[in-house]
Amino acid sequence: MRFLRWLMLGLVVCASAAQADLPDYQAFPADGERLLLWAAPERGRAEPELQAARLLAGRGVSVWSLDAVSAYFLPQLPSSMDALPAQDMADWLRAALGSGKQVAVYAVSRAAVPVLRGAALLQPAERQRLCMLLMYPNLYTVAEALSEPDYLNVGDLSGLRVRVLQPRRSAATPWLPGQLDHLARLGATPSHVILENLREGYWVRETPTEFEIAESRRMDTMLLRELEAWGCQ
Amino acid sequence: MKRLLMLCAMGLGLAGAVQAAGFETRAATPAPALKALDLKGATRTLADYRGKVVVLNFWASWCPPCLREMPSMERLRVKMARRPLAVVALDSAETREEVDAFLSRMTLGFPILLDPDGSNTKRWKVFALPTTFLLDAEGRVRHVLTGPTEWDEGEALVLIESLLAEVSTR
């Protein structure tokens, strides 16, 4: 009986602590004016992504790298991304905005869903201060052959600037206009860039091309280029 | 949700081995229009294959699972040479040069169609590669497979034989 009482007490304390904390992220501090929030995809954070974060920090861009499936002890599935608490993501975004730096978010694949849901919970003035880079976002509820696609309603994104990075060699490329239209319907201001000669997840491919290997090593440069070309200030 | 998970796994194309087939059976719906150029520059439509069971495969040269199942599609073509079956592979949203570069490495006897602007891919609502449609001799979609399989054996062959049996009893 005493054991059960201690067990329950422990669970309550752990649950409270988990609710009170921001998601567990890895920080790469830098002195520059920019802060990049990096949300890894459902399969977790890969070494080339960490390497890019280190290189960005070396170039003056602070990075907070979030591996959400690991932080929340979730299985490596797209549905895990849908299960992340939007309020926690909003708190994370607010903490970043509170740093006083120019904040950009970079989310890969289904990680776009929780960061967009978090952004939807922000005040419009807060949302307007964010830029969001989404690498081949997966915003579908249903995408079934011979049927019209259906998209997730992640909430009000008015004022949010979103840039989709779409590898050309992807089954999703012909469907990019639909995803952009959906983001616009939710109030975001979307734009996009096609990444030529690349496949989705090119930095973790089992049989990468020479170009994909080279681009994996240049991810920091690609992200900086997109932030600057896009005019994300 | 199961379909969504499959879509994402296919999109990444990280699966190392050919996966078990998981055909969806459809209620004999009329197929969307198909209009594409073949490698000789001739326009092809489904009417060209009317009276035959059609294995219509959407693929791309950058997609490893697509390339893994190609040899089994070629074996199927050879095995069914005297029967009313057409194997047709439509390359999704790539240039002629990209397709030619792949075909220089693999000899295939079935027709390859081109869809450089992705218009057929969108009309057939293909969200993952490979996706393959089994059409009956009347041009109706009967089965759909998202992901790769071995086309000359197992469930794929059983389904193809069942559609061929319908032709012979007509």
Q: Tell me the DSSP string of A105-126.
A: EEEEGGGHHHHHHHHHTS-HHH
Question: Which residues on A lie below 8 Å from B127 (Cβ)?
Answer: 140, 143-145, 149, 171-172, 175
| Mean of all residue pLDDT scores within chain A | 91
Cross-chain Cβ contact B7/A201 below 8 Å: no
Residue B119 placed within a domain: yes
**CA-CA-CA-CA torsion sign (B144, A79, A74, A200):** positive
Residue B54 placed within a domain: yes
B129 touches chain A (CB under 8 A): yes
pLDDT of residue A24: 77
pLDDT of residue B105: 94
Q: What is the mean pLDDT of residues B145-158?
A: 98
A55 touches chain B (CB under 8 A): no
Q: At which residue do the structure tokens 């309020």 appear?
A: A87
A208 touches chain B (CB under 8 A): no
Residue B17 placed within a domain: no
Lowest mean pLDDT among A148-162, A213-227, B156-170: B156-170
pLDDT in tens, A112-126: 999 999 999 999 999
Residue B152: pLDDT over 90: yes
Residue A11: pLDDT over 60: no
Q: At which residue do the structure tokens 């693929």 appear?
A: B59
For residue A22, what pLDDT band results from cuts at 50, 70 and 90? low
A46 touches chain B (CB under 8 A): no
Residue B133 placed within a domain: yes
Across the interface, which of A200, A204, A206 has its CB nearest the CB of B11? A200
pLDDT of residue A158: 97
**How far is B155 from B149, CA to CA, in rounded Å?**
9
Residue A105: pLDDT over 90: yes
Residue A25: pLDDT over 70: yes
Both tokens assigned to B81: 């040479």
**Element of type H or E holding A5:** helix A2-20
Cβ(A187)–Cβ(A154) under 8 Å?
no
B17 touches chain A (CB under 8 A): no
B10 touches chain A (CB under 8 A): yes
Distances from the Cα of B63 to the Cα of A122, A203, A207, angstroms: 39, 15, 11
Cross-chain Cβ contact A146/B127 below 8 Å: no
pLDDT in tens, A45-102: 999 999 999 999 999 999 999 999 888 889 999 999 999 999 999 999 999 999 999 9
pLDDT of residue A6: 54
Residue B22 placed within a domain: no
B84 touches chain A (CB under 8 A): no
pLDDT of residue B21: 66
- CATH number, domain containing residue B70: 3.40.30.10
B32 touches chain A (CB under 8 A): yes
Burial letters for A140-150: b for 16+ Cβ neighbours within 10 Å, e otherwise?
A: beebbbbeebe
For residue A8, what pLDDT band results from cuts at 50, 70 and 90? very low
Question: Which residues on A lie below 8 Å from B3 (Cβ)?
Answer: 142-144
The highest-level CATH class for domain A23-230 is alpha beta
Question: Which residues on B lie below 8 Å from A207 (Cβ)?
Answer: 64
Cβ(A215)–Cβ(A186) under 8 Å?
no
Mutation site, B58, B62, B145, interface A, largest A CB count within 10 A? B62
Residue B125 placed within a domain: yes
Q: How far is B13 from chain A (nearest CA, A)?
A: 8
* Residues of the domain holding B112: 31-168
Across the interface, which of A78, A144, A207 has its CB nearest the CB of B8? A78
Residue B158 placed within a domain: yes
A62 touches chain B (CB under 8 A): no
Across the interface, which of A78, A109, A206 has its CB nearest the CB of B16? A206
pLDDT in tens, A191-207: 999 999 999 999 999 99
Question: Which residues on B lie below 8 Å from A145 (Cβ)?
Answer: 124-127, 131, 133, 144, 146
Q: What are the extents of the domains in chain A?
A: 23-230
3-state secondary structure B130-161: CEEEEECCCCEEEEEEECCCCCCCHHHHHHHH
**Element of type H or E holding A90:** helix A86-97
Number of domains in chain B: 1
- Tell me the residues of chain B between 44 and 83 that have a Cβ less than 8 Å away from chain A: 60, 62-64
Cross-chain Cβ contact A78/B13 below 8 Å: no
For residue B18, what pLDDT band results from cuts at 50, 70 and 90? very low
Partners of residue B138 on adjacent β-strands:
none
pLDDT of residue A5: 54
Q: What is the mean pLDDT of residues B134-154?
A: 97
Residues with Cβ within 8 Å of B66's Cβ and at least 6 positions away in sequence, in order, are B57, B59, B60, B129, B130, B148
For residue B69, what pLDDT band results from cuts at 50, 70 and 90? very high
Cross-chain Cβ contact A142/B3 below 8 Å: yes
Distances from the Cα of A99 to the Cα of A32, A93, A131, A223, angstroms: 12, 10, 15, 21
**How far is A132 from A189, CA to CA, in rounded Å?**
10
Q: What is the mean pLDDT of residues A170-175?
A: 97
pLDDT of residue A21: 56
